[in-house]
């Protein structure tokens, strides 16, 4: 989108509208329209079989996927926060969509899609999109790997045509009799489709590998297979938009599913849009808040047409960019090409075998695993790889939110461990001479300290947090315990509730044993957090220095204040002035 520098003084909504209008004008320029039309056709070749595969995998008619691709592609293409974003059904949404269909039926999915879209619009209006940039990259990678695992786990039984008895790949492997019912012809068709998808791009990048693979698989099944599972009849026009009926749908149980769908679609779209900035080398960031609004409106449109939920798709958008897309027209034209295919090629699409469509999803799943990236991460940072795997396994074994939550928690712990290490420098002082050579003495000498001392001085470096606060217990190891424990907090950046509780415990522990705890050189930003501790500290207050704590504990006497002696020459010079002043004031 156009740089916002020139428009920065205008209101946010006005600026957003101005940028959209400018990008719409670019769509109809003769200089870019041919390239956008070609790019849109390339994306449609990728999107058509994928839309059909996702719809059938969720237990919906194939037409649902095509209709969603057309309607959402137009709405998202016109309004997205990035001119290159392509909106449509996406593999990441399949597990949740299939779960909703299994419980609430197709009508329930349509309602959930509309509700999710409305929630996305609300998130965009409150400008929640900016927070997507705060998600750690390992969690993002774990998200894609987890979706890949879900696809493999759910689609393998469909490839082997045993999904009625084996709901996932794990059950398929555990059952010893699974090989008796496999449709090996369908497996062969799927294998040929997958080989074409993987091998043909190596021959030439312009070859529509997915379409060629589907053609090969379909020809094999039509020639050799009788009564195979196929897509089935398709409509040749778009249905009329209607509001979903709530009859027979349990709204209370559907609402959490819609909320989850909104979060998943929002997260996936925002991550895809953020990735496009890197892919295109854009000098300005895409408008993530606008993208949330656009994806929400696209989901509302898909829902009222009875369609599949949608989101911004990085695979399709990258294909569009590689094909030479220049403006939003490429995304919109991809949807129009899908409509043309639905109107003219419906009889051919109806004969595509389900096994071939399943193979497409399996290839997508393997690519989402990003095995090369995982191996590289193993060699670079095993802790980062751990975040990826925890996120992915949480998604595959439980659900998306458990996986992302676990990944964020582990990433936070690793961050605190890496950047929140607590270091202690401890000095046990037993006589005054040690103060002169210790790390914590502020003055070069301590002439007024008694020769015999029982003092423990500790300097803390780093935040005191729940992850490291137990290290402070080293200060009260004993017996014997020091009569005064002084903790220097000058280099402490943060103290959380666990840290405050630990300091209070140390103070109470020492008080019971007739000793005292003193906190010195407390940074101003920590004084409020540590204020409740003062009643347990030496003199019930915090001290500004080690000397102040020693004075408060009676371990150091204040230095006597002496009148400075004037230099003899100065005294002689001041004497006439003094006599004059005396005579002026009898």
Question: Which domains, from first to last, does the chain contain?
Answer: 35-237+249-413 (no CATH), 421-552 (3.30.750.24)
pLDDT, residue 440, reads: 47
Classify each residue of 129-139 as buried b or exposed e, where b means 16 or more C-beta atoms within 10 Å of its C-beta: beebeebbebb
Q: What is the pLDDT of residues 265-298, one digit of tens each?
A: 998 888 788 777 766 666 567 888 999 999 999 9
Q: What is the pLDDT along the chain (586 residues), one digit of tens a residue?
A: 444 444 444 455 676 787 888 889 989 888 888 889 888 887 887 788 889 888 988 989 888 999 999 999 999 999 998 888 999 998 889 888 999 999 999 999 999 999 999 999 999 999 888 787 778 888 888 887 887 888 888 788 777 765 554 456 666 665 655 555 667 777 888 888 889 888 888 887 777 777 788 888 888 888 876 667 777 777 777 777 777 777 777 788 899 999 989 988 998 888 788 777 766 666 567 888 999 999 999 999 999 998 799 999 877 887 788 777 889 999 999 999 999 988 888 888 788 888 887 888 788 788 878 888 899 889 888 888 999 999 999 988 887 778 888 999 998 888 877 777 788 999 888 766 666 544 444 443 444 445 456 789 999 998 898 778 888 988 888 778 888 999 999 999 889 888 999 999 999 999 998 899 999 999 999 999 999 999 999 999 999 988 889 888 887 776 655 555 555 554 454 445 444 444 444 4
Question: What is the pLDDT, as a whole number, of residue 304?
Answer: 93
Alpha-carbon torsion angle 372, 378, 384, 386, nearest 10 = 100
Judge contact between 153 and 168, C-beta under 8 A: yes
- Nearest-5° angle of CA 326, CA 144, CA 310? 55
**Residue-level pLDDT at 120:** 96
pTM check: above 0.75? no
DSSP 353: B
Q: Which residues sit opposite 458 in a β-bridge?
A: 426, 487
230 has which bridge partners?
Answer: 353
What would the pLDDT profile of 303-328 be if each residue is shown by its tens digit? 999 879 999 987 788 778 877 788 99
Helices (H), 420-545: 432-437, 497-512, 527-530
pLDDT tens sequence across 105-139: 999 999 999 999 999 999 999 988 878 777 888 88
Mean pLDDT taken over the chain: 81
User: What count of other Cβ atoms lies within 10 Å of the Cβ of residue 395?
Assistant: 27
């Amino acid at each position: 989108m156009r740089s916002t520098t020139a428009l920065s003084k205008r209101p946010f909504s006005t600026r957003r509208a101005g940028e959209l209008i400018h990008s719409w004008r670019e769509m109809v320029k003769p200089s870019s329209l041919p390239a956008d039309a070609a790019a849109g056709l390339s994306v449609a070749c990728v999107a058509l079989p994928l839309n059909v595969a996702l719809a059938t995998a969720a237990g919906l008619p194939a037409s649902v996927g095509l209709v969603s691709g057309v309607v959402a592609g137009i709405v998202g293409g016109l309004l997205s926060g990035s001119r290159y974003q392509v909106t449509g059904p996406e593999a990441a949404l399949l597990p949740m969509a299939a779960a909703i269909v299994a419980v609430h039926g197709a009508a329930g999915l349509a309602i959930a899609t509309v509700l999710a879209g409305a929630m996305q619009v609300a998130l965009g209006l409150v400008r929640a999109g900016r927070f997507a940039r705060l998600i750690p990259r390992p969690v993002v990678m774990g998200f894609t790997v987890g979706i890949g695992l879900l696809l493999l786990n759910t689609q393998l039984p469909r490839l082997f045509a045993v999904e009625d008895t084996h709901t996932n790949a794990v059950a398929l492997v555990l059952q010893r009799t699974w090989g008796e019912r496999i449709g090996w012809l369908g497996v062969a068709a799927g294998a040929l489709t997958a080989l074409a998808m993987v091998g043909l791009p190596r021959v030439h990048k312009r070859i529509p590998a997915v379409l060629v693979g589907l053609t090969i698989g379909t020809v094999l099944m039509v020639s050799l297979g009788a009564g195979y599972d196929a897509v089935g009849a398709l409509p040749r026009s778009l249905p009329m938009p209607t509001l979903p009926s709530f009859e027979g749908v349990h709204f209370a149980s559907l609402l959490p599913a819609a909320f989850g769908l909104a979060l998943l679609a929002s997260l996936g779209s925002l991550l895809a849009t953020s990735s496009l900035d890197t892919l295109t080398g854009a000098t300005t960031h895409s408008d993530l808040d606008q993208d949330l609004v656009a994806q929400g409106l696209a989901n509302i449109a898909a829902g009222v047409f009875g369609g599949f939920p949608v989101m911004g798709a990085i695979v399709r958008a990258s294909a569009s960019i590689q094909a030479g897309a220049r403006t939003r027209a490429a995304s919109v034209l991809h949807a129009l090409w899908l409509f043309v295919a639905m109107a003219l090629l419906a009889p051919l699409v109806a004969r595509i075998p389900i096994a071939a469509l399943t193979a497409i999803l399996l290839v997508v799943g393997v690519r989402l695993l990003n095995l090369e990236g995982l191996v590289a991460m193993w060699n670079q940072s095993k802790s980062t790889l751990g975040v990826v795997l925890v996120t992915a396994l949480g998604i595959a074994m439980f659900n998306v939110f458990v996986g992302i939550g676990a990944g964020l928690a582990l990433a936070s712990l690793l961050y605190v461990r890496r950047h929140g290490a607590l270091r202690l420098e401890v000095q046990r002082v037993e006589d005054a001479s040690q103060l002169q050579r210790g790390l914590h003495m502020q003055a070069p000498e301590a002439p007024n300290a008694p020769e015999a001392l029982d003092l423990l001085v500790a300097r803390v470096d780093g935040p005191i947090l729940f992850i490291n606060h137990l290290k402070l217990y080293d200060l009260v190891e004993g017996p014997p315990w020091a009569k005064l424990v002084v903790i220097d907090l000058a280099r402490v950046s943060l103290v959380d509730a666990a840290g405050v509780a630990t300091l209070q415990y140390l103070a109470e522990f020492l008080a019971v044993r007739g000793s005292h705890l003193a906190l010195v050189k407390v940074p101003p930003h920590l004084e409020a957090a540590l204020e409740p501790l003062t009643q347990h500290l030496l003199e019930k207050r915090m001290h500004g220095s080690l000397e102040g704590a020693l004075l408060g504990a009676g371990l150091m006497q204040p230095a006597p204040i002496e009148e400075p002696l004037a230099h003899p020459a100065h005294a002689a010079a001041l004497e006439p002035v003094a006599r004059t002043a005396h005579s002026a004031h009898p």
